[in-house]
C-alpha cells in the first residue's frame, strides 16, 4: 500500500511514483538486499533522479517528487546513493544527462548511481580558483584523441574516483570563456597522478591531480569543442543546489547538533544569553530551510537556476555559525580533538565529531564557489544589479596577463 501524506488528492504522477516505490521495497527489502543491488533496482525503476529521462534513471517528472521517493526509501532503511558518491550523484550525473551522448548516458549513469564507479570534478587550478574561466590546463587534438596536460587542485575524492569531469583549454586564441572543452577522463589512466592534500582536520579528502600527455578519445567529449564553459555551468549550478539546497525536516540537519549540545548542558550553564544565541541561529536555519523548500517547489525540470546560489551562500555561513556556537558552548571540551592521523576518507559527507565538523566548516565558504562569487551571481542574475567590471571579457586568453 502506498503511504504518502498529503492534505490534497494525489496527482497522477504522485500515485505513479508511490506505486513504483512500493514495488521497489517489496521486491528488494533493504534489510536483505545488498546496497548496490538495491540502488540498481531503484535506477531501473526510474527512481534514481525522477526528473531524468526514462531509461536513464528517471521518469521525466517534476524533481520535487524525488523527496517522496527519498523519504520512503530512507524510512525503510534503504541506502543513500549520495553518501558514497556525492560528486557523481549531485554534480557530474546531471551534467552527463544534460550534455552526454546516448552512449555516455547508458554507460555511466547506472554505475554512478549505485556507487560502483566514483566520480570527481576537475575544475580548480592553482592559478584559477574563483576565476574558473582563466584555467590553463590544455587539450590539443591529435586525430581522434585529445592530449591533455596540466594540474588541478582541491579535487574532492579523486583518490577513489574511476571517472572525472575534466575541463581544459582547447583554443587559447578565443576569449577565456569560449575556449574551453569538457571531457570524461579515466582517473585510473597511468598518466594521471593523484596526490593527497592534507587538511586541518587531519584528513586528505582533497587532492591535487596532474595530467601528463593524457589521451582522451573524442567520443568522451561532453558537448562540442568550446562548450566547456556551458557544460561547467550545468555542473556548478547542480553543485550549489546539492550543497545548499537540502530540505531537512524542521530542526534537523546541522542545527540539530547545536540544539543537542544545548539540551545536554548543565542547568547552571543555560543562561539567558546562551539561550538567545541558540534561538537566533535556530531561526536562521529555519528561514533557510523554508527558502529552500520554496525554491524547490518553483524549480522546473532541467538545470537549477541561479537561485541555488542563495542556499549555498547562506548555508555555508550558517554552518560556520552553528559550529562556532557549538564550540563556545562546549567550552574547554572543544579542544579535545582526538587523533590527528592522516586518513583518506571514503566520502565527503559528514564528520564523526563536533570538533572535526567545526574545522571542516571553514571550507564551506570556499568550495562550490566562494561566498563573494555567490554574492556577485545573486546581485547580477537575481537582483539585476550592474555587472562587475571585467576588463578581459573580450580579450583572447593568450593575451590576458597572468602570473
Tens digit of pLDDT for each residue in 243-272? 444 556 777 788 999 999 999 999 888 889
DSSP code for 158: T
Q: How far apart are CA 381 and CA 361, in angstroms?
A: 27
Nearest of 302, 306, 237, 239 to residue 91 by alpha carbon = 239
Strands (DSSP E) found in 5-144: 119-122, 138-142
Nearest of 247, 234, 137 to residue 192 by alpha carbon = 137
- Do 119 and 183 touch, CB atoms closer than 8 A? no
Strand 163-169 to 119-122 pairing = parallel
Catalytic residue among 14, 125, 203, 239: 239
Residue 239 designated active-site: yes
C-alpha cell read off for 330: 562546549
Q: pLDDT value at position 245?
A: 45
Q: pLDDT value at position 298?
A: 63
Q: How far apart are CA 291 and CA 293, in angstroms?
A: 5
Q: pLDDT value at position 346?
A: 76
- Do 398 and 172 touch, CB atoms closer than 8 A? yes
Q: How far apart are CA 219 and CA 184, in angstroms?
A: 9
Q: pLDDT value at position 339?
A: 77
* Per-run averaged pLDDT (10 residues), the chain, 403 residues: 46 94 98 97 97 96 90 95 90 95 98 97 86 91 98 94 98 94 98 95 92 98 96 79 57 87 90 91 91 69 61 88 94 86 75 88 84 84 83 84 72
Q: How far apart are CA 73 and CA 67, in angstroms?
A: 10
Q: pLDDT value at position 351?
A: 74
Q: How far apart are CA 32 and CA 54, in angstroms?
A: 27
What the chain holds in terms of domains, given with CATH numbers, is 13-114 (1.10.540.10), 119-226 (2.40.110.10), 232-382 (1.20.140.10)
Q: pLDDT value at position 135?
A: 93
Q: pLDDT value at position 15?
A: 94
Q: pLDDT value at position 140?
A: 98
Q: pLDDT value at position 5?
A: 42
Look-up of cell digits 593527497: 196
Please name the residues in contact with 366: beta carbons below 8 A apart, sequence gap of 6 or more: none
Nearest of 190, 112, 106, 214 to residue 157 by alpha carbon = 112
Amino acid at each position: 500500500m502506498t503511504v504518502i501524506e498529503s492534505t490534497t488528492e494525489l496527482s497522477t504522477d504522485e500515485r505513479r511514483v508511490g506505486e513504483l516505490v512500493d514495488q521497489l521495497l517489496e521486491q528488494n527489502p533493504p534489510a536483505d538486499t545488498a546496497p548496490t543491488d538495491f540502488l540498481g533496482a531503484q535506477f531501473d525503476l526510474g527512481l534514481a533522479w525522477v526528473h531524468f529521462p526514462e531509461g536513464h534513471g528517471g521518469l521525466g517528472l517534476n524533481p520535487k517528487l524525488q523527496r517522496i521517493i527519498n523519504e520512503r526509501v530512507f524510512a525503510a532503511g534503504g541506502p543513500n546513493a549520495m553518501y558514497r558518491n556525492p560528486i557523481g550523484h549531485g554534480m557530474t550525473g546531471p551534467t552527463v544527462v544534460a550534455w552526454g551522448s546516448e552512449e555516455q548516458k547508458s554507460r555511466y549513469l547506472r554505475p554512478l548511481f549505485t556507487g560502483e564507479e566514483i566520480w570527481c570534478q576537475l575544475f580548480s587550478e592553482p592559478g584559477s580558483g574563483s576565476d574558473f574561466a582563466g584555467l590553463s590546463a590544455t587539450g590539443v587534438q591529435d586525430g581522434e584523441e585529445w592530449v591533455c596536460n596540466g594540474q588541478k587542485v582541491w579535487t574532492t575524492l579523486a583518490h577513489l574516483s574511476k571517472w572525472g569531469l575534466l575541463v581544459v583549454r582547447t583554443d587559447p586564441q578565443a576569449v577565456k570563456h569560449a575556449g574551453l572543452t569538457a571531457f570524461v577522463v579515466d582517473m585510473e589512466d597511468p598518466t594521471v597522478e593523484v596526490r593527497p592534500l592534507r587538511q586541518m582536520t587531519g584528513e586528505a579528502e582533497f587532492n591535487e591531480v596532474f595530467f601528463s600527455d593524457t589521451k582522451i578519445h573524442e567520443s568522451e567529449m561532453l558537448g562540442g569543442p568550446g562548450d566547456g564553459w556551458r557544460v561547467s555551468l550545468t555542473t556548478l549550478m547542480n553543485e550549489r543546489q546539492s550543497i545548499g539546497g537540502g530540505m531537512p525536516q524542521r530542526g534537523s540537519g546541522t542545527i540539530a547538533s547545536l540544539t543537542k549540545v544545548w539540551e545536554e548542558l548543565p542547568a547552571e550553564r543555560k543562561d539567558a544569553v546562551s539561550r538567545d544565541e541558540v534561538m537566533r541561529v535556530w531561526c536562521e536555519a529555519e528561514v533557510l530551510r523554508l527558502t529552500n523548500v520554496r525554491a524547490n517547489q518553483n524549480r522546473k525540470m532541467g538545470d537549477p537556476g541561479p537561485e541555488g546560489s542563495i542556499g549555498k551562500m547562506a548555508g555555508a555561513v550558517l554552518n560556520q555559525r552553528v559550529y562556532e556556537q557549538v564550540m563556545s558552548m562546549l567550552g574547554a571540551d572543544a579542544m579535545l580533538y582526538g587523533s590527528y592521523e592522516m586518513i583518506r576518507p571514503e566520502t565527503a559527507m559528514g564528520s564523526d565529531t563536533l570538533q572535526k565538523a567545526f574545522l571542516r566548516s571553514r571550507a564551506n565558504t570556499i568550495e562550490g564557489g566562494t561566498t563573494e562569487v555567490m554574492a556577485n551571481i545573486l546581485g547580477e542574475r537575481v537582483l539585476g544589479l550592474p555587472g562587475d567590471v571585467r576588463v578581459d571579457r573580450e580579450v583572447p586568453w593568450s593575451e590576458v596577463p597572468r602570473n
